[in-house]
Amino acid sequence: MNLLVLLAIVLLIIAGHQLLRVIELSRGLKKTKEWQVTDSDNDMMGKAMLMFMFVFFAFFFWQVNRWNDRALPPAASEHGAKIDALFDANVYLITFVFLVTNFFLFWFAYKYRGNSQNKAVYYPHNNKIEMLWTVVPAVALTFIIIFGLKYWNEITAESNDANKVVIELYAKQFDWTARFAGKDGKLGETDFRQISSTNSVGMDTSDVVGFDDILVKNEIHIPVGREIELHMRSRDVIHSAYLPHFRAQMNCVPGMVTFFRFKPTKTTAEMRKDPYVVQLMAGINKQRATENKEPVEFDYTLLCNKICGASHYNMQMNVVVDTEADYNAWMQKQKAVKTVASK
């Protein structure tokens, strides 16, 4: 078998070599060299450029049409709705620029394809037109910058909401732990040297403020309509807490605490009834059925979004957004650190 394959390869090489010889010999007989661009080359490639433009645009719209409804659902947080609106405005703008400039590029590529009868127009510069296309992008960018920074300042401003829920997201290879601030609304101090099998997030056991803190793994519940202030820490390497449905993300950096705050606007139950989410989940479950997997329901998810090691792809936590009453009921069942530690 191997011998046959080898033989076939050798024959192929010989055949290829002979073919090349023939081509090389015939070169000398031709008037125009192979590498010279002829009028018919220009005509064909010019037309091909225009055709490519249509294919390119068709591919673009095909993708938008086919995959647009697989994008994340509309934001489930207050600031997220603003991000979505700004994102849409930007996408329309850049799509317009993308289509128009590519159109001119490929239209000129077609229109001015070369011909030995033609001569190009000597046109080295035009200060007015250059000024125009410097100023127009500058003005457009001014608006983009102004809106972007306005929202950015709002999103990153410090919270003065007395009713906020303070939660620490603690990352390590390769899972998340959440620490709720408890009744006093304050998180206890931490010290990485005190990390042990009974003190997984390294709480400072001498700090009384931390006694009522509540540790939760795998799934956390948060109340709808209240501000959530996330404090992020990491035990080992950089991780990133990514909550795509809330348009929230912040790196977890060892040696420091980072922050992000947001206000959820829809409970998990409400999201599950949202028409967009319903069709999204139908698509997901259709695919799962072909792989013989159980159907799933929509859930908010926390992912790790900064390369952190071998199981980076599997570092997750469920997030459930409850009504205030459900949240309080869930919270009743959680145990404070002090009780956990004394067990």
Residues 93-132, interacting with other proteins (CB under 8 A): 93-95, 97-98, 101-102, 104-106, 108-109, 112-115, 118-126, 129-130
Nearest to 315 by CA among 146, 181, 172: 172
Structural contact between residues 188 and 206, judged by C-beta atoms closer than 8 angstroms: no
For residue 286, state whether it binds other proteins (rule: CB under 8 A).
yes
Stretch of residues binding other proteins (CB under 8 A), selected from 6-14, 160-168, 287-295, 332-340: 287-295
Which of 299, 326 has the CB closer to other proteins? 299
Applying CB under 8 A, which of residues 250, 271, 321, 337 lies at the interface with other proteins? Answer: 250
Applying CB under 8 A, which of residues 202, 270, 323, 340 lies at the interface with other proteins? Answer: 202
Distance from the Cα of residue 72 to its chain's centroid? 10
**Rg of the chain taking only CA atoms, in angstroms:** 31
- Token look-up 């709705």 returns 81
For residue 280, state whether it binds other proteins (rule: CB under 8 A).
yes
Q: How far is the CB of 60 from other proteins (least distance, A)?
A: 7
Stretch of residues binding other proteins (CB under 8 A), selected from 151-159, 209-217, 319-327, 328-336: 151-159
Q: Which of residues 211-240 bind other proteins (CB under 8 A)?
A: 232, 235-238, 240
Stretch of residues binding other proteins (CB under 8 A), selected from 160-168, 181-189, 223-231, 311-319: 311-319
Q: How far is the CB of 333 from other proteins (least distance, A)?
A: 26
Ramachandran class of 173: left when φ > 0, alpha when ψ lies in -120 to 50, beta otherwise: beta
For residue 153, state whether it binds other proteins (rule: CB under 8 A).
yes
| CA pair distance 51, 69, nearest whole angstrom | 28
Q: How far is the CB of 329 from other proteins (least distance, A)?
A: 26
Q: How far is the CB of 5 from other proteins (least distance, A)?
A: 15
Q: How far is the CB of 251 from other proteins (least distance, A)?
A: 5
For residue 309, the tally of other CB atoms under 10 A from its CB is 12
For residue 276, state whether it binds other proteins (rule: CB under 8 A).
no
* Residues 6 or more apart in contact with residue 159 via CB below 8 angstroms: 227, 229, 261
Structural contact between residues 271 and 277, judged by C-beta atoms closer than 8 angstroms: yes
Which of 122, 163 has the CB closer to other proteins? 122
Q: Which of residues 38-97 bind other proteins (CB under 8 A)?
A: 41-42, 45-46, 48-49, 52, 55-56, 59-60, 63, 67-68, 70-72, 80, 82-83, 86-87, 90-91, 93-95, 97
For residue 26, state whether it binds other proteins (rule: CB under 8 A).
no
DSSP secondary structure letter of residue 217: E
Which of 80, 212 has the CB closer to other proteins? 80
| CA pair distance 113, 121, nearest whole angstrom | 13
Q: Is 79 exposed, middle or buried (0-12, 13-18, 19+ CB in 10 A)?
A: buried
Per the structure block, which two tokens stand in for 88?
């849409």
| CA pair distance 55, 42, nearest whole angstrom | 20
Applying CB under 8 A, which of residues 81, 144, 209, 320 lies at the interface with other proteins? Answer: 144
Classify each residue of 192-214 as buried b or exposed e, where b means 16 or more C-beta atoms within 10 Å of its C-beta: eeeeeeebbbbbebeeebbbbbb
Which of 138, 325 has the CB closer to other proteins? 138
| CA pair distance 50, 178, nearest whole angstrom | 56
Applying CB under 8 A, which of residues 25, 29, 138, 162 lies at the interface with other proteins? Answer: 138
Applying CB under 8 A, which of residues 184, 316, 326, 334 lies at the interface with other proteins? Answer: 316
Q: In what order do the strands lie in the sheet with 214-217?
A: 214-217, 175-180, 165-172, 228-234, 258-262
Q: Which of residues 156-175 bind other proteins (CB under 8 A)?
A: 156, 173
